[in-house]
Amino acid sequence: MICNCKKRDTKQEILKESFLLCGESKSSNFSLSEVADRVGISKTAIFRHFKNKDALIVEMRHVFLDKFAELFKGENFFFSQIPLKKCEFKEFSLIVDRVLSFYMTNPGYLDFFLSMDTMHAGIGKSLVSAMKDRGVSISDEFIAKGHQIFFKAYFCAESIVYFLTRRNFAKLEKNPVGISDEEFKQKVINLLWNGIGNESFILSDKRKKELDELSKIELQDENESKFFKAFAEIFSEYGIEGVTVERISEKVNLAKSSLYSYFDNKDQFILEMFVQEVSTISNLIFEKTECVENIDELIYTVLRTEKNYLELKPFVLMIHSWVTQNKFDLDKTHVLGNAKFIENTREKIQKQIGEKYFDTVSSFFGWISSLSGALTIYLGTQKLQELSKKEDYADVIFNLVKGGVNTEKE
């Protein structure tokens, strides 16, 4: 008797479950034991296919990049052409639709992409180089545009990440997502192309200078607790993983046993520091935006205030990544912002934008905040400082929020 049973592809099952675990944990911090349990094999059996976890991560990276490259191979897109041509809406729509569909139909790929360069930065080349290595045509003229094209690409990439993450979170929590996948993709495409499309207000250079002055921040050291000062010093020297109970107690000159009367453990300590920072920046934004007159001034002031704050305390974003990866409930840490600020701006937002793109006021400001904040994570503090000398990135992001990538200005 001939058996027509299909041979099990254990290697592919290991890869599939590893990606799914990335999606569930929001990072690549899964264990090989977890993978083995999901596949239904022993942990030892994984080593027949991968030498160790690092080897598995490397293979996942190759799988991800190979599949991502397939979206663009064999196509004569605007970034492939010589001389370089302007990207039209039809072509832009096709590209963004493919990227959104790629992440929506491959669970865990988005979270793996977000973690792979930060956790395993040394194992590969840049995304552009990786795409070229896989046969995607990208012209030297396109690459030579450097920071001129960077902001548009960043605006699209970070926006896609933000809206997909919100949608995935709603599905994970079994909350209604409101619209179909196709409607969702079209909303994102239109927002990226046109921006919020509000032409009612134009900020003059004079008014921008006034708002720049309003958005300045001076942090007073005496307002910071001894715990926060200790945390900042330890984080700067050792990074997030180097924050230990021993180092904290040494910095604040307390015995470990005494420290536990303030915090249950290291995780609670870091979370408390993060909540403190979120509260500080939320109150600052509320204070700075109380006297703004319209939505443009509101967006500009939020971007400028957050930029100024994060330049003073860039490590706040790294803590945010840690909080997210460790699956803390961000809503309970008040990360969605100061309630007074949200309520104070609700009428402006709903009147001038309505529900054209955003289901809630907090989702609108979450998007604005992510555009400003994620630059520090993508580039690092030093590169961002270098970029700041060439471009006022808060102003560039403001113009993209307003008008999208559909602009003659390169």
Angle, in degrees to the nearest 10, between helices 53-70 and 10-25: 90
What pLDDT does 13 receive? 96
What pLDDT does 240 receive? 67
What pLDDT does 189 receive? 95
Quote the tokens at residue 338. Answer: 């100061």
Give CA–CA dist 38/32, Å, rounded.
10
Specify whether the CB–CB gap between 159 and 371 falls below 8 A: yes
Residue at 372: amino acid letter: S
CA 394 to chain centre: 17
Give CA–CA dist 131/226, Å, rounded.
48
What pLDDT does 169 receive? 66
The predicted-structure confidence for 118-141, as pLDDT tens digits, reads as follows 433 333 347 788 888 899 888 888
Specify whether the CB–CB gap between 215 and 289 falls below 8 A: no
What pLDDT does 300 receive? 92
What pLDDT does 388 receive? 74
Quote the tokens at residue 118. Answer: 């930060």
Residues 6+ apart with CB under 8 A from 289: 298, 301, 302, 305, 341, 344, 345
Phi, psi of 237 (to 5 degrees): -90, -40
Residue at 135: amino acid letter: G
How many other β-carbons are positioned within 10 Å of the β-carbon of residue 38?
A: 16
CATH architecture entry for 10-144: Orthogonal Bundle (1.10)
Angle, in degrees to the nearest 10, between helices 226-238 and 266-289: 110
CA separation (Å) from 316 to 134, 165, 234, 281, 396?
36, 20, 13, 10, 23
Quote the tokens at residue 350. Answer: 């709903």
Question: Tens digit of pLDDT per residue, the chain (410 long)?
Answer: 455 556 778 999 999 999 999 888 766 778 999 999 999 999 999 999 999 999 999 999 999 999 999 999 878 888 888 777 888 999 999 999 999 999 999 989 998 888 765 433 333 347 788 888 899 888 888 877 766 788 888 899 999 998 998 887 665 544 455 678 899 999 999 999 998 876 656 788 899 999 999 999 876 654 456 777 777 777 777 766 677 888 888 888 888 777 777 777 777 777 777 777 777 888 888 888 888 888 888 889 999 998 888 888 777 766 766 666 565 555 444 444 455 566 666 666 666 555 556 666 777 888 888 888 777 767 666 777 777 777 788 898 999 998 899 865 44
> Residues spanned by CATH 1.10.357.10 within the chain?
10-144
What pLDDT does 200 receive? 58
Angle, in degrees to the nearest 10, between helices 295-312 and 339-352: 140
Give 201: exposed, middle or buried? Use CB within 10 Å, 0-12, 13-18, 19+.
Answer: middle
What pLDDT does 125 receive? 42
Q: What is the 3-state secondary structure (H, E, C) of the chain?
A: CCCCCCCCCHHHHHHHHHHHHHHHHCCCCCCHHHHHHHHCCCHHHHCCCCCCHHHHHHHHHHHHHHHHHHCCCCCCCHHHCCCCCCCCHHHHHHHHHHHHHHHHHCCCHHHHHHHHHHHCHHHCCCHHHHHHHCCCCCCHHHHHCCHHHHHHHHHHHHHHHHHHHHHHHHHHCCCCCCCCHHHHHHHHHHHHHHCCCCCCCCCCHHHHHHHHHHCCCCCCHHHCCHHHHHHHHHHHHHCHHHCCHHHHHHHCCCCHHHHCCCCCCHHHHHHHHHHHHHHHHHHHHHHHHCCCCCHHHHHHHHHHHHHHHHHHCCHHHHHHHHHHHCCCCHHHHCCCCCHHHHHHHHHHHHHHCCCCCCCCHHHHHHHHHHHHHHHHHHHCHHHHHHHHHHCCHHHHHHHHHHHCCCCCCC
What pLDDT does 48 receive? 94
Query: pTM to 2 decimals?
Result: 0.81
